[in-house]
Every structure is written in C-alpha cells, then in structure tokens.
Amino acid sequence: MAISDRLAQIPDSYFAKTMGQKVEHGPLPLINMAVGIPDGETPKGIIDCFADALRQPDNQKYVAFHGKDSFKQAIVDFYQRQFQVELDKEDEVCILYGTKNGLVGLPTCIVNPGENVLLPDPGYTDYKAGVLLADAQPQPLVLEPPYYLPQWDKISKETLLNTRLVYLTYPNNPTGSVATKSVFDEAIERFKGTKTKIVHDFAYSAFGFDAKNPSILQSEGAKDLAIEIFSLSKGYNMSGFRVGFAVGNKDIIQALKKYQSHTHAGMFGALQDAATYALNNYDAFLDEQNLTFKRRRDEFEAKLQQANIPFEPMKGGIFLWLRTPKNFNGESFVDYLLQEQSILVAPGIPFGEHGEHYVRISLALDDASLLEAAKRIQSLKHLYE
C-alpha cells in the first residue's frame, strides 16, 4: 500500500469516515444529531457580497499569500469591538483556509519531534493527527466533570517540562463547558517564562449562554505565549466557506504564515471579501445565533430532566454531552439509538478515553426535529433506572 509510515500511524478521521455515509436505521424517520453543521442559512447580505465579489476581475487572479489588507483590518476591528483586544494586522494575524488546517498544521510549525503536546480529553478529535504528523508526543489534558477545566497540578512535572504546546478549547467540543477569564489567566501564569505555548480553539465563540465567552488574549501577557483560532463557520452559518484566522503571539503567527506560504497559495479573494463583510456587519446576527441555541439548550435539557436522564450541563457551544445508560458504552449506545429510535449521534470515545461512557448530541437542528428527538430519548428513561 502506497502510504508513509508516518501517515499510517494516524487513525482515520472519525467525521471524514462517517459524514455523508448512508446509515441503516430503525423504522422511524432518521434524525441526524451527529454533526455540528449549522442548520440555518448564511445571511443574505454575505451571500450577495460573495456573488458580487466573484465578478471582480482582481478576485479571478492570484491574491497576496497572506491575505487582503481589508480582511486583516476587519479581523483587527472585530477583536477590538468584541474583546477589547488590540492586534497588529501584519504581525499578529494569520488567515486560515478553514481553522482545521491551522489546528492540525500548528505542531509542525512550532513543535520538535519527541516533545509533548497536551490535548484536552475530552476534546476535538483531529488535534491528535497534527501532533503525530509532527512526530511529537500527544499527552492527555484530562478534563473532569462537571466543569471540564484544566487541573494543572494533576499533570506530572516531568510531562510539563517536555511540553511545547497546549491545546485549549472553550466552549468545549464535545462537553459544552465554558471557561471564564480567570481560567485563561491561570493558564497564562502557569506557562509564563517557559517554552510551552498555548493555542485556544475558539470555534464556538458566539455561543455562551450564561455570559459572553472571553478570548484568551484578554488575559494579561497572553500574547507572549498564546494564539487563538477563530472560525466563521458556526456563528455566521458559513461552514461551507472554510474561512477562519489565527491571532496572537507574533512568533507563532509568523511560523504559521511561513508554513502556509509553502502549503497554500493565498485564499480566494471573493471568500475574503465575504468574510470581511460578515465581520464588519453581523455582530447582531451572532447575538441572535446565541439566543437561538440558548433556547434550544433550555428546552432540550428540560426534556431530559423530566425523564431523569443524566447529562453534563451545557453552558456554551452547540453540543450536549449525554451520559450512556449503565449497560452501554458510547459506541453501543450509538448503535442502540440508531436501531431503536432512528437517532444518529456521535460516540464519545473519538474525543478521548474519558468519553467512553458518553455520546455527543448536536443541537444544530430545526425545532421540530429537536422536539421529536427529545421525546424519543425520553422514552429510554427505563434504561437509566
């Protein structure tokens, strides 16, 4: 088989393997709650801007490798408005063709073979691939219920001494937990003056139900060792556009930009124009998205509580972390839900060893589908007794 040893050691991506695949399910109509693709349409103004930009002759040619000045300025202005964080558009901003490219490519940029990278467990499935591609050593950053926050004192000094990079992600995918500014303050203080850097995956930034989600860059000294990766996919219903960016520590940003100059030839200009328009004009839309998912969270959790079905409190993001019945693990419960209730969810195990007895449920569905799914899950309360 024509595959390198390095690539062969990496497990297949769970969502690449399952997304779009035909599934065999029970007699009821299928409800797919496995994938976090926003169910709403991209706002019309963004679509119209994109359509107009397609016709611009300059956008039909190569563009600058590191992005249009207008897009970078929109990013700077957005962070100033939303988080009161000042950024240098040349030194502290890197445009990404989808945030996954940045998250997976980052270890190759700044981590040496054999060094440790701390990965949240539970956490996003594809971080590990980037670590293995860099010949680095993935180490678990165990996040325990109910808050799923880092407990730095539980990590051995030996592990920390050889740690070059830490991944954080809040709101957390898959648990729906959130972080306060003090959590980020502690992380920055912990690694200040060491070789360890931090990347905060801020994909679900728009969704904070009890309070606005803080940026890690709001913490004092954060830009000395941290970057944040922001996605337009969820908040703006732009998942198909594959647009995001990294901001923060200038040395990490420059390493990412150098890496991209060899792996990408610049983002399509019309995409940049559409993203610029979104950042400059749709702050209110982000607030509406948050209210929509907060209402969905409230209604869905209430249904589970009525049936005494255990779950982890969802404080942000778009996913609910559901405990499996005692005689199931995540994978067997996924099969059971699919065959008995025609509900497709994601097993917890791809998100880390501590996800073995959970499944992840996406609330990115219309209200009628969510209500029907809640009723079907309520009918399983006998499994939890």
Catalogue all structural domains in the chain, each as residue range(s) with its CATH number: 5-42+284-384 (3.90.1150.10), 45-282 (3.40.640.10)
CA-atom Rg of the chain in angstroms: 21
β-strands 116-121, 137-142: how paired?
Answer: parallel
Question: Distance (Å, rounded) from C-alpha 250 to C-alpha 106?
Answer: 14
Query: Is residue 13's pLDDT more than 80?
Result: no
Q: What residues contact residue 119 under an 8 Å CB cut-off, 6+ apart?
A: 127, 128, 131, 138, 139, 140, 141, 167, 352
β-strands 197-201, 137-142: how paired?
Answer: unpaired
Mean pLDDT value of segment 337-344 = 96
Mean pLDDT value of segment 294-312 = 96
Least confident of 11-15, 224-228, 286-290, 333-337: 11-15
Residue 72 sits at the vertex; the CA angle it makes with 66 and 75, to the nearest 5 degrees, is 135
What is the value of pTM for the model shown? 0.95
Look at residue 18 in the predicted model and tell me its pLDDT.
58
The token duo for 30 is 């299928």
Look at residue 93 in the predicted model and tell me its pLDDT.
97
Query: Is residue 23's pLDDT more than 80?
Result: no
Question: Distance (Å, rounded) from C-alpha 288 to C-alpha 258?
Answer: 37
Mean pLDDT value of segment 197-216 = 97
User: Dihedral of CA 229/233/239/245: which sign?
Assistant: negative
Sheet with strand 116-121: strands edge to edge: 93-96, 244-248, 226-231, 197-201, 163-169, 116-121, 137-142
Look at residue 145 in the predicted model and tell me its pLDDT.
95
The token duo for 125 is 């499935």
Look at residue 133 in the predicted model and tell me its pLDDT.
94
Query: Is residue 15's pLDDT more than 70?
Result: no
Nearest partner of 19 among 350, 293, 380, judged by Cα: 350
234 vs 263 pLDDT, higher one:
234
Mean pLDDT value of segment 260-288 = 93
Per DSSP, the residues of 262-295 read HH-----HHHHHHHHHHHHH-HHHHHHHHHHHHH
**Mean pLDDT of all residues belonging to the chain:** 94
Tens of pLDDT, residue by residue over 361-379, are: 999 999 999 999 999 999 9
The single-letter code of the amino acid at 132 is: L
Look at residue 136 in the predicted model and tell me its pLDDT.
96
Q: What percent of the chain has pLDDT over 90?
A: 85
Look at residue 373 in the predicted model and tell me its pLDDT.
97
Tens of pLDDT, residue by residue over 317-333, are: 999 999 999 999 999 99
Look at residue 64 in the predicted model and tell me its pLDDT.
76
Mean pLDDT value of segment 111-119 = 97
4 vs 294 pLDDT, higher one:
294
Length of the chain: 385
Question: Distance (Å, rounded) from C-alpha 102 to C-alpha 21?
Answer: 26
Nearest partner of 378 among 297, 296, 277, 303, judged by Cα: 303
Query: Is residue 19's pLDDT more than 60?
Result: no
Question: Distance (Å, rounded) from C-alpha 298 to C-alpha 205?
Answer: 19
Least confident of 15-19, 27-31, 65-69, 114-118: 15-19
Mean pLDDT value of segment 60-84 = 92
The token duo for 233 is 């996919």
62 vs 96 pLDDT, higher one:
96
Tens of pLDDT, residue by residue over 93-110, are: 999 998 999 999 999 999
Tell me the pLDDT band of 168, cut-offs 50, 70 and 90.
very high
Tens of pLDDT, residue by residue over 275-296, are: 999 999 999 999 999 999 999 9
Look at residue 14 in the predicted model and tell me its pLDDT.
67
Nearest partner of 290 among 346, 213, 362, judged by Cα: 213
Question: Distance (Å, rounded) from C-alpha 278 to C-alpha 270?
Answer: 12
355 vs 3 pLDDT, higher one:
355
Element (H, E) at 306: helix 283-306
Residue holding tokens 């270890």?
107
Distance of CA 307 to the CA centre of its chain: 30
Look at residue 21 in the predicted model and tell me its pLDDT.
67
CB 118 within 8 A of CB 163: yes
